[in-house]
A = this chain, B = another copy of it.
Amino acid sequence: MHDKMLRTLAADVRTLTSIARNPRFATVQSSDIRVFESICGQNYVKIAEIDNYATDWTKAFKGNPACVLLPSTTDEVSAILAHCAQRNIAVVPQAGNTGLVGGAVPVYDEVVVSMKRINKHIEFDEKTGTLICDAGFILEELDNHLAPHGYMMPYSLGAKGSCMIGGNVATNAGGIQLLRYGSLHAHLLGLTVVLPTDDGKVMELGSTLRKDNTSLHVPHLFLGSEGQIGLITRVVMNTVPKPSSVLSAMIGVDKFESCCCILRIARRHLSEILSSFEFLDREAMVLLEETLNLKQVLHSNPRFTILVETSGSNKEHDADKMERFLDECFNSGLTVDGVQAQSVAESSAMWRLRESAPLAVAAGGFFYKYDVSLPLNHFYELTEVIRVRCLKHTKHIVTYGHLGDGNSHLNVIAKEYTQDLHDTLHPFLYEWVAAHGGSISAEHGIGQLKLPYSTFGKSPAERDLVRRIKTVFDPKGILNPYKTF
């Protein structure tokens, strides 16, 4: 998908939301730049060569920021936000800029405050597994820091080499091990945040303790807040012991209902060690071979492929559980094909298929990516409904995702952007998801991409409440404007 197509798409989305630059926000002046320079130092106020900060990872969204600020401490962030609040300058917080919905880039000339230099302080308590670290640490750096202690971060993402922990909190990152370790709500203990108030209020919220019932648990409000209520500069989080045994298996299934039955069998036999239950349909496998020349692991070309992973503390026990699981899959007749990885290389080959699926989609043509949650009985029905509806317009309709969490990544791929396809898909698809008890954003967030549809499944009362909560944190509404849920 080349840039021009993406721009067209972004423009199209923007038209839907009818956003105009809000004249309430001040335009950054050279006097503001001098203030920012006095706070961050001259080298860390950028007004040129800032395309990387202005452009979303998908390249679909591009703003025109007045400047990019690179503070290195919480106090610098505080001074920046105090000045911006006093002057009514709009601000977009940005961590690793690996989001997929245009949430971390400006819409117009908002100032980008990058967290990437806030990455000095890190403390780890081996007794409790508690990590305290600056928000700009990259997820993989944190895993590397924890590994010698026998611990790891309680989540993992494709973007782990560039996404930052502050952004992970702000987007409530999900990922491929949620089945085993739960969402970030299970692990977040405390945050240092800066509010966009006239005094750039710095707040240490929560604590470093696993149990602390002395106030409202405000840190949890920041999970998935998408930069709407404050800038996160430090995170306190539980980590988890690194599993000493990780096993993978791939299973071929010919009916979607059988996939759901196998999930139940996995929950029973693999129980406490089940860490991933990933899903790819045949169309995804065909596209992986066509675009990336990646061969299937299963030779029977099954209708659906399940990738199961376990993470445990005892290899022998885990292997025994996996064997019982696979035995029941085969004996019950639910599985048409299956193989357990016997080596790291074999396991990598399985994961390469799953992890390359987004790249295969990107190489397949002009695409719409979706990230929806659905009750399991509707999980694949959505794909089938869209396939019938968009037959004429599309090259490929491909679904993969985190079946164990009910999280479908459906992708619709066409030769090029057409208004006709766009209108066939939208708002139909989001309406269908909401009508079937699903969520229009499982893990990617709302950002700019889904803003036109953010009413779906949320009541006006809840949206009003959320806006009033935002006002408590951001009284002037300068934080990440044009994207409020």
**Partner-B contacts on A (CB < 8 A):** 125-129, 150, 171-172, 174, 178, 182-183, 185-186, 188, 201-205, 207-218, 220-221, 223-225, 228-229, 241, 243, 260, 263-264, 267-273, 312-314, 317, 320-321, 373-377, 402, 405-407, 437-446, 450, 454, 457-459, 461-463, 465-466, 468-470, 472-473, 485
Report A27 CB to chain B, min CB distance, Å: 30
Q: Which residue of B269, B313, B377, B469 is within 8 Å of A216 (Cβ)?
A: B469
Q: Is the CB of B406 within 8 A of A211?
A: yes
- With a cutoff of 8 Å between Cβ atoms, the chain B residues found around residue A466 in the complex are 215-216, 218
Q: Which residue of B186, B450, B458 is within 8 Å of A183 (Cβ)?
A: B186
Q: Other than A220-B223, A272-B313, give 17 A-B pairs with Cβ distance below 8 A.
A: A127-B263, A185-B186, A207-B437, A208-B437, A209-B406, A210-B406, A213-B443, A214-B440, A214-B445, A214-B446, A214-B454, A215-B446, A216-B469, A218-B466, A241-B268, A271-B314, A468-B472
Q: Is the CB of B205 within 8 A of A462?
A: yes
Q: Is the CB of B218 within 8 A of A224?
A: no
Q: Is the CB of B215 within 8 A of A406?
A: no
Residue among A128, A188, A272 having the largest count of chain B Cβ atoms under 10 Å = A272
If A127-B264, A272-B312, A272-B313 touch, whether A485 touches B218 (CB-CB below 8 Å) is: no
Q: Is the CB of B472 within 8 A of A212?
A: no
Q: Which residue of B174, B216, B321, B457 is within 8 Å of A485 (Cβ)?
A: B216
If A128-B376, A472-B468, A472-B469 touch, whether A210 touches B405 (CB-CB below 8 Å) is: yes
Q: Is the CB of A203 within 8 A of B128?
A: no
- With a cutoff of 8 Å between Cβ atoms, the chain B residues found around residue A375 in the complex are 125, 128, 208-209
A243–B221 Cα gap in the complex (Å)?
32
Q: Is the CB of B217 within 8 A of A172?
A: yes
Report A279 CB to chain B, min CB distance, Å: 14
Q: Which residue of B211, B215, B376 is within 8 Å of A458 (Cβ)?
A: B215
Q: 25 A-B contacts, Cβ less than 8 Å apart? A: A126-B264, A127-B263, A129-B267, A171-B213, A183-B186, A185-B217, A185-B220, A203-B461, A208-B437, A209-B375, A209-B439, A211-B439, A211-B442, A212-B439, A214-B457, A214-B485, A215-B224, A215-B446, A216-B470, A218-B466, A269-B313, A272-B272, A314-B317, A314-B320, A317-B321
